[in-house]
Amino acid sequence: MQTLFEKSVAGKRGVTVAPPEVETYSFDESLLRTELDLPELAEVDTVRHYTALSKRAFGVDDGFYPLGSCTMKYNPKLNEEIAALPGFAQAHPLTRADKVQGSLAVIDTLNAYLAGITGMDAVTLQPCAGAHGEYTGLLVIDRYHKSRGDFKRTKVLVPDSAHGTNPASAAMAGFEVVSVKSDGDKGVDIEELKKAVGEDTAALMLTNPTTLGLFEKNILEIADIVHAAGGLMYYDGANLNAVMGVVRPGDMGFDVVHLNLHKTFSTPHGGGGPGSGPVGVKRALKPFLPTPAVVSTEKGLRYEKGKQSIGKVSAFYGNFGVYVKALAYIVTLGGKGLRASAETAVLNANYLRARINEFYPVGEQRYCMHEFVLSMKKLKDETGVTALDVAKALIDRGIHPPTMYFPLIVEEALMFEPTETESKENLDRAADALREIIQEAYTAPEKLHTSPHNAPVRRPDEVAAARNPVLRA
Amino acid sequence: MSDYLSITPAEREAMLGKIGVGDVSELYADIPATLLKKKVKLSEGRSQQETFRAMKALAARNKNYDSVFLGAGSYNHYIPSVVKSLASREEFLTAYTPYQAEMSQGILQSVFEYQTMICRLTGMDVANASHYSGATAAAEACIMCADKTPKVVTFDNVNPDTLDTLGTYLSARKIELIVLPAKGGLATELPESVGKAGAVYLESPNYYGLIENVSAVAESGKAHGAAVILGCNPLSLALFKTPRELGADVAVGDGQPFGMPLSFGGPYLGYIAVTKDRMRKLPGRIVGETTDADGRRAYVLTLQAREQHIRRERATSNICSNQAHCALTAAIYLAAMGPQGLKDVATVCASNAHYLASKLESVGAKRFYNGEFFHEFVTVTPFKAADILRALDARGILGGLALDEHRILWCCTEMNTKEDMDAVVETVEATYANFV
């Protein structure tokens, strides 16, 4: 498909702008640029271009999207309309607090809901994505230790099954990363943890349910070990969808939590963002949250600039337009709806897993949470068909592939997360598609090695893309 | 209670049967009983109609203004209907990060085109797929450039939220941040005492709206061994010389003026663009062009060896989710406006601002700084800024930002009519009359 630049025709005009009602101002020529090479298109050309692009994309509204760890649930239309209400969309962030009580109430109310859901005492909505939340939470932890005169805590423990953002965020926050071995399906290896933890431990970062889609059974013991050494427990909320309304990270022993509103709380992911990554903390860490906080006063809601705060982690108050959608979602579902969603997410994952088990071994017969990891190693050993081949073959059947080759501790991993909004019929269809692909692996593997065959393009040459980068037209 | 589930009670029973359990609670067998006993407070939900009513009531507690003269990092521009209409197409809105290239060519191509337009605006070679905001883009650009010499120099005339974010990010990485005082509102050459530095960060137009002598600051920065990072409102680049022409190595800023509503401060769009030599140090996603197995043009996420999911703690950044949909919005905005439309918007903004500044001067609100400006400027009055802003508020006008007791930072865009501007002037004049 042609690019915007190839479609450009010199002299074409898009949206016209009314001339100024006042005298046109001219800047000194020494300041001015001589060319502005942007595409020249009529409005209809722009419309056709982006409509064509949209047909070469695939969202949750198009079909099943079991991308593990990403919680691709349905994004309610209601929430889009609410975020676009002029009262919210036209509010300037620097307006005096007394004139934007609606926006401040959104922040205050959502903070309270998220604190309740996670079992935390205070929340900031400033972080713009999950990784940004991790970073913020770790800075808060660092500041907390230092405020107590404890300057030795330079290390953050991260299980080897963790998302890549965990160690990357710890490094960004100035910590040294210590990788802790996982004991397969059993989760964190307690003996390894005991060896790694010490008086230099700032925190342990943990995803629970784990990235294998299993609940960390020893969570209370793990929290005790870390706390006994003076470290804090950090909860990566990527997998909260399995347990929201059922159990709370705060009760599991976690001190700091980040959430992904674009996963768990249904805000659309927009092809890569914007997300929103609120951070919740226990009372002792509240003074260190990013500034400003929204507080209730006699005159109404106001901003408060905390003296011990880590400062700002982004402009203004983060991705307001995203978290207003999350608030609408929570208000609609209520606690009961959130719990029903979590339970159904777990039901759907276990059902799909049971269906797959009819024709391919799914591993140990322990119930998964909201997602499960399938190793395609057996298939690869027997047929040469890889997890990648299977993923690409799913594309030909109108299903977005699961997450591939993650977590790193499972060979030929495919991680399925169906989410609660998928129907039984869709899960059955996906299981049937997978059965068909696996049968084909034994009869005609060649076709799978070159799949997909029905997509706008076949497998792109990624090696060439990285070796000779073409990053702009 | 409402939910968005799609399973009937009969199907639920069948599914539980297939799994081999009688109740969903059995699936939570791994969770310690002590945890399950702690009941989470569960409120009732609402119907969609009730939620809409409740949220609309919250929105109504925000005052909407007829005219806005407040900027300072968040700009009230006209958003053509075509931008909203195209950006809200569900295939764009409800997709995840384009990990599966074959299914995501539309999104990948839109990012590639966005990167191209950012490069052409800034004169740079490579742009990333977006960052959270102009503030975080500046912070990560500084970290990128200060990896060998952990010292960054900036000025107290950059956006205060950006400055605060720089402080947070740099101190975590143990990079020294030196904030030099501006002179007459403008950045200065670096004094000898600064010594060797990794980067110098300045903005033009700066927080006060003034256009900096970037070349002079850049030259002096380079004499200190520093990479030059220039923050720009990208709309100003419709008119002014590119950061590259002015000697910058890195261009950053916030793309909110390109089609994003004020939305109480976000989501906005951080952009980062660099010269080719820094390509492999950029934070975040980058889309590249390649070919598929049949030789057709195809787009992919590329140079991923920089990123957290490959490099973990040695990645150039921890960023994963970015502001992709905002980048899409900006690209559609730029395509819809075209070069002439964009120049026209910038020209109307500047013309309005210069008109308002001269009219305000004539009624006793003098400009506090002298230099050339784009569409923001600072006035000083003998009477209180708060009195002016209160009087404007009563007329449904959102005035500028009070910088202190007597100074106001004003912003004009193409949204302000002459009538609105004259109303501002009249109000200031009346406030002055009361003061005298």
Domain map of chain A by residue range? 4-54, 77-333, 340-449
Question: Largest Cα–Cα distance of chain B, in whole Å?
Answer: 85
B24/A343 CB distance under 8 A: yes
Asked whether residue B54 is assigned to any structural domain, the reply reads: no
CATH number of the domain enclosing B354: 3.90.1150.10
Closest Cα of chain B to A245: distance in Å?
6
Chain B environment of A15 (Cβ under 8 Å)? 80, 82, 336-338, 341
Give the start-end residues of each E strand in A362-409. 372-375, 403-404
Going by the DSSP 8-state scheme, the letter that residue A370 receives in this structure is S
Element at A320 (helix H, strand E): helix A320-356
Query: Among all residues of chain B, which has the CA nearest to that of A459?
Result: B292
- What pLDDT does B40 receive? 78
CA distance B190 to B193: 8
CA distance A253 to A173: 22
- What pLDDT does B1 receive? 58
Query: Which residue among A14, A243, A336 places its CB closest to the CB of B341?
Result: A14
Give the three-state DSSP class for B335: helix
Element at B402 (helix H, strand E): strand B401-402
Chain A environment of B319 (Cβ under 8 Å)? 129, 131-132
Query: Which residue among A214, A246, A395 places its CB closest to the CB of B40?
Result: A246
Q: Is the pTM of this model over 0.90?
A: yes
CA distance A166 to A83: 30
CA distance A14 to A47: 11
CA distance A451 to A444: 12
Same domain, B299 and B197: yes
Tell me which architecture the domain covering A340-449 has in CATH: Alpha-Beta Complex (3.90)
Q: Please state the ipTM of this predicted complex.
A: 0.98
Contact, A107 vs A457, CB < 8 A? no
Closest Cα of chain B to A123: distance in Å?
18
Strands A279-281, A122-124: parallel, antiparallel or unpaired by DSSP?
antiparallel
CA distance A389 to A437: 9
- In one-letter notation, the amino acid at residue B367 is R
Q: Give whole-number Cα distances, A8 to A41, B116, B342, in Å.
A: 6, 14, 15
Strands A155-159, A176-180: parallel, antiparallel or unpaired by DSSP?
parallel
- What pLDDT does A446 receive? 97
Mutation to test the B interface, candidates A6, A26, A46, A409, most B Cβ within 10 Å = A46
- What pLDDT does B33 receive? 95
- The residue ranges of chain B whose pLDDT is under 70 are 1
Chain B environment of A319 (Cβ under 8 Å)? 132, 266-267
- What pLDDT does A422 receive? 98
CA B170 to chain centroid, in Å, comes to 19
Closest Cα of chain A to B363: distance in Å?
18
Query: Which residue among A92, A163, A459 places its CB closest to the CB of B70?
Result: A92
Same domain, B295 and B363: no
- The residue ranges of chain A whose pLDDT is under 70 are none
Q: Which fold has domain A77-333?
A: Aspartate Aminotransferase; domain 2 (3.40.640)
Same domain, B300 and B347: no
CA distance B326 to A274: 7
Same domain, B168 and B220: yes
Query: Among all residues of chain A, which has the CA nearest to that of B15?
Result: A351
Q: Give whole-number Cα distances, B40 to A85, A133, A195, A213, in Å.
A: 32, 24, 35, 22
- Torsion angles phi and psi, residue A454, rounded to 5: -110, 15
A457/B418 CB distance under 8 A: no
- What pLDDT does A232 receive? 98
Chain A environment of B239 (Cβ under 8 Å)? 27, 31-33
A311, with CB counted inside 10 A (0-12, 13-18, 19+), is buried
Q: Which two tokens stand for residue B132?
A: 């959270």
Query: Among all residues of chain A, which has the CA nearest to that of B57?
Result: A102
B61/A87 CB distance under 8 A: yes
Count of structural domains, chain B:
2
Closest Cα of chain B to A452: distance in Å?
8
B40/A117 CB distance under 8 A: yes
Same domain, B219 and B298: yes
- What pLDDT does A366 receive? 87
Question: Using one digit for the tens of pLDDT, what is the confidence trace for B385-420?
Answer: 999 999 999 999 999 999 999 999 999 999 999 999
Query: Which residue among B59, B97, B320 places its CB closest to the CB of A165?
Result: B320
A17/B348 CB distance under 8 A: yes
Q: Give whole-number Cα distances, B356 to A21, B66, B326, B419, B426, in Å.
A: 12, 17, 31, 11, 11
Going by the DSSP 8-state scheme, the letter that residue A290 receives in this structure is -
Give the three-state DSSP class for A147: helix
CA distance A85 to B58: 10
Closest Cα of chain A to B232: distance in Å?
14
Same domain, B296 and B409: no
Name the residue range of residue B421's domain.
67-77+338-435
Q: Which two tokens stand for residue A273?
A: 């963002």
The four Cα atoms A106, A108, A110, A114 give a dihedral, to 10 degrees, of 170
Closest Cα of chain B to A196: distance in Å?
17
Asked whether residue B267 is assigned to any structural domain, the reply reads: yes
Of B299, B428, B399, nearest to B63 (Cα)? B399
Asked whether residue B191 is assigned to any structural domain, the reply reads: yes
